[in-house]
A and B are shown apart, each in its own frame.
Chain A
């Protein structure tokens, strides 16, 4: 921690910026099931869950900034704000300890967010910063514009919703419901089991490895991105796959057929096993690959 603070202070000095860095620490009582909200512009945010009923913030901030920690009832708000109205210089690193079962909201512009051991619901958003977090059984919502997103689950069933424009998504060991939306970001997803999946991408590629729940519903759509599905056995699903220009490549089931004699279009529709789950895939140019393992 001291290394981070020293490095931050040193960086500010080396750039010749006028602000002097000051180490601050604030502690406030917090309901273990309360909400914690963190808002800052840039730097690095580390949030760690602990078993104390309080929030502790450690930061290195310049003299032109203020660290505001407001705590009331079940809500704790942590902000780094400008005190003189001018533009901020440099980045602010925050280390925040919160009750493990808190509901957490973090909003940043270019700060990277790393969240560990926070088991309440999480709403994390960053314009260009990256987001790394873990999920248990509570809801997780992550939004970035260009920041990469990395999520590790603990195999509990949860609702995960990720929206990014160009960030890449890596998701492992989750289960339950999943919503993914990207424009160009690629998605590498490995789940224990999928119940409800909604995936939409314009140009990103998807690699999804999962088992389908018995009544799973998976809807995936891509314009130019390639979609690759590796489904763990047993696979009991109805498949409805259609592309305009893309190739359909499946390791099991019948071969795809042309949908029009004199125009583009490929389709693959079949039932595997009892067909309880439904898999619907549509692309314009993206290729589709479906295999079992």
Chain B
């Protein structure tokens, strides 16, 4: 069953069947097949890394490390989840490892977060944009101001569509903590975006 970020992807290029064929070829040492996988999936991996780390330089390192690690672990990919989901798990692990190794949280200053938002994050998808550039930037900016715990959960769950259980597993936290962080993150986002408290 395809879950998470790949669940809503309908392009032929992202079909699980083409991924499976590319993975099989890459396992056999075909680096061109692996490059194809990189071209197909790197945009989303960078999206995850950038929103989790809030630093472009760190996020791009994370993308490289993710794909290098994926190459080295291809034999361990059993196809139980979508390839993109597996990559995201590796990417999240890379982000968390970086944070642990560097002793502090991966945190940009408020200014850095704003600058990154303006320059680097793509605007809304074509055809699904009810917000103008200014509004999208506000959402991206508000997301970047969330504390690490909440931001990680909101990015993976609300932006990339993973379930509570998947997010908890990726982040190595309890499902309950994940839900609590999501609620906290959503509450903070509403406040910062000036949205009403209740859904309706």
Contacts and interface: CB of A to CB of B under 8 A. Distances in A.
Direct A–B contact in complex, judged by CB atoms less than 8 Å apart: yes
Given A224-B183, A285-B180, A285-B183, A247 B197 contact: yes
A117 B87 CA distance: 47
B101 interface: no
A266 B197 CA distance: 10
B199 A245 contact: no
Interface in A133-187: 184
A226 B163 CA distance: 13
Contact of A245 (B175, B184, B198, B200): B184
B197 A225 contact: no
B179 A249 contact: no
Contact of A184 (B175, B180, B184, B197): B175
A202 interface: yes
Contact of A285 (B174, B179, B198, B199): B179
Contact of B179 (A256, A264, A286): A286
- A interface, how many residues as a size bin? 20 to 34
B176 A203 contact: yes
A168 B36 CA distance: 40
B187 A245 contact: yes
Interface string B175-200: 11001100110010000000001111
Contacts of B184: 245, 285
Contact of A203 (B179, B198, B199, B200): B179
Most buried by B among A184, A202, A224, A247: A224
B176 A223 contact: yes
A255 interface: yes
Q: Chain B: interface residue count, which band?
A: 10 to 19
B184 to A, nearest CB: 7
Given A245-B183, A246-B183, A224 B176 contact: yes
A248 interface: yes
A256 B198 CA distance: 8
Contacts of A226: 179
A255 B180 contact: no
A249 B200 contact: yes
Contacts of A246: 183
Interface in A218-260: 223-226, 245-249, 255-256, 258
A248 B179 contact: no
B180 A224 contact: yes
A203 B175 contact: yes
B197 to A, nearest CB: 7
Interface in A196-233: 202-203, 223-226
Nearest to A226: B179
Contacts of B187: 245, 264
A88 B200 CA distance: 57
A224 B187 CA distance: 14
Nearest to B187: A245
B198 A247 contact: yes
A225 B179 contact: yes
Nearest to A225: B179
Contacts of B175: 184, 203, 224
Contacts of B174: 203
A210 B187 CA distance: 30
Given A202-B176, A203-B175, A223-B176, A248 B198 contact: yes
Interface of A: 184, 202-203, 223-226, 245-249, 255-256, 258, 264, 266, 284-287
12 contacts: A203-B175, A224-B179, A224-B183, A225-B179, A226-B179, A245-B180, A245-B184, A246-B183, A249-B199, A256-B198, A264-B187, A285-B179
Given A247-B197, A266-B197, 19 more contacts: A184-B175, A203-B175, A203-B179, A223-B176, A224-B175, A224-B179, A224-B183, A245-B183, A245-B184, A246-B183, A247-B198, A247-B199, A249-B199, A256-B198, A258-B197, A285-B180, A285-B183, A286-B179, A286-B183
Which 10 pairs of residues, A with B, have the shortest CB-CB distance?
A: A224-B179, A203-B176, A285-B183, A249-B199, A224-B176, A285-B180, A203-B175, A245-B183, A224-B180, A184-B175
